[in-house]
Amino acid sequence: MTETIHIGNSALQEIDELLRNRAFSKVVVLVDDNTLAHCYPRLKDYLPEHSLIQIPSGEEHKTLQTCELIWQRMTELNLDRWAVLVNLGGGVIGDMGGFCASVFKRGIYFVQVPTTLLAQVDASVGGKTGIDFHGLKNHIGVYQEPQAVFIDPTFLQTLPQRQVKSGYAEIIKHWLIADAEAFQTQRNIGLFTEDWEALIRHSVHIKSEVVTADPLEGGYRKVLNFGHTVGHAVETYLMQQPGRELLHGEAIAVGMFCEAYLSVKKELLSKEELDKIETFLVSVYEKVSIGEDDIEKIAQLALQDKKNTRSTINCTLLQSIGKAVYDQAITLQDIQESLRYYQLL
């Protein structure tokens, strides 16, 4: 777990200090269309001499084909193993940029500058990198820690509300798996907080503690997957349905509904706690339309989940609000039942 996580309005000054004090041979910044326009102008004054690599924005471009473009540009720039890649963007940029840096010439340095709430509280912390493959999310990747992470909450001012809600889902997840008191407090406040820095710090702290205890997801780290078995399947399926695509956090919110329901079915979570979770999630997220024709296809995608063992679908469920249990075996029928329950909400 990287110890170098800088959070706050002075985070970009810290990146200036790191890049100037370390003997990196070259500095390259990876951006997409959005971060080039809205975030790079704020960052560039804190950078030494550098080059840009620009890619299209969006999850649909998180592919090997885009990696080839990045590697080709790295090659044209004559990067050696002492170069550093600065990943400026959301989860797609962080995941893909980290992956490209980790395998280029067997690994060059990289730092993360997450610009979305989702990336700040989740994707930028923990050393997971990767890309989608044939529509399967994060199917190819490696574990590799960045040199440092620089989280500036003022970047959130560039985001539409939908993107903020998407990131907020991962914050809710962190409360549900590790901090019942924070969940209880925040559900009375809702999404409209003025102190994002405090929420980000707390969420990063929860994730950092989990990752430090289990860096390579051999066991305990799997608690971070609450909402993701069903959520990833929903996200993957709707990604292939033009006009129905969801942001990651929107899909994870669906997954948290379903997996909280399964937690009650497996006699782990109380019905009263399920009601509290549902009431909070309903107050933030619009219901996603999932028809009967979709349900079986979504469930089948869960067979590709990276947490599975042989043919067993392993899921993280809630024993109570604030305590998760991992490696809970569920069936395709369980997933279908949970999606039908979500349908009827």
Residues known to be catalytic: 106, 128, 170, 207, 217, 221, 225, 228, 232, 248
* Exposure of 108 in the CB half-sphere (CA atoms within 13 A): 24
pLDDT of the residue at 3: 54
- Mean pLDDT along residues 176-200: 90
- What are the structure tokens assigned to 305, written together? 């989940």
Q: From the centroid of its chain, how far is CA 208?
A: 14
- What pLDDT was estimated at residue 291? 95
Q: In the chain, what are the domains? A: 5-158 (3.40.50.1970), 161-344 (1.20.1090.10)
pLDDT single digits (tens) 50-108: 999 999 999 999 999 999 999 999 999 999 999 999 999 999 999 999 999 999 999 99
Give the tens place of pLDDT for each residue, 219-272: 999 999 999 999 999 999 999 999 999 999 999 999 999 999 999 999 999 999
Of 17, 147, 166, the closest CA to residue 90 belongs to 166
Q: What is the pLDDT of residue 307?
A: 74
Strand segments, DSSP code E, in the chain are: 5-7, 27-32, 51-55, 84-89, 109-114, 131-133, 136-140, 149-151, 313-320, 323-330
Q: Is 119 helix (H, G, I), strand (E, B) or coil?
A: helix
Nearest to 210 by CA among 194, 226, 232: 226
Q: What are the beta bridge partners of residue 54?
A: 31
Q: Per residue in 128-139, is it b (16+ CB within 10 Å) or e — as a string? A: bbbbbeeeebbe
Q: pLDDT tier at 1 (50, 70, 90 boundaries)? A: very low
Following DSSP, what letter does each residue of 124-153 receive, concatenated? TSSSB--EEETTEEEEE--B---S-EEE-G
Q: What is the 3-state secondary structure (H, E, C) of 197-263?
A: HHHHHHHHHHHHHHHHHCCCCCCHHHHHHCCHHHHHHHHHHHHCCCCCCCCHHHHHHHHHHHHHHHH
> Can you say whether residue 242 is alpha, beta or left, with left for phi > 0 and alpha for psi between -120 and 50 degrees?
beta
Average pLDDT, the chain: 94
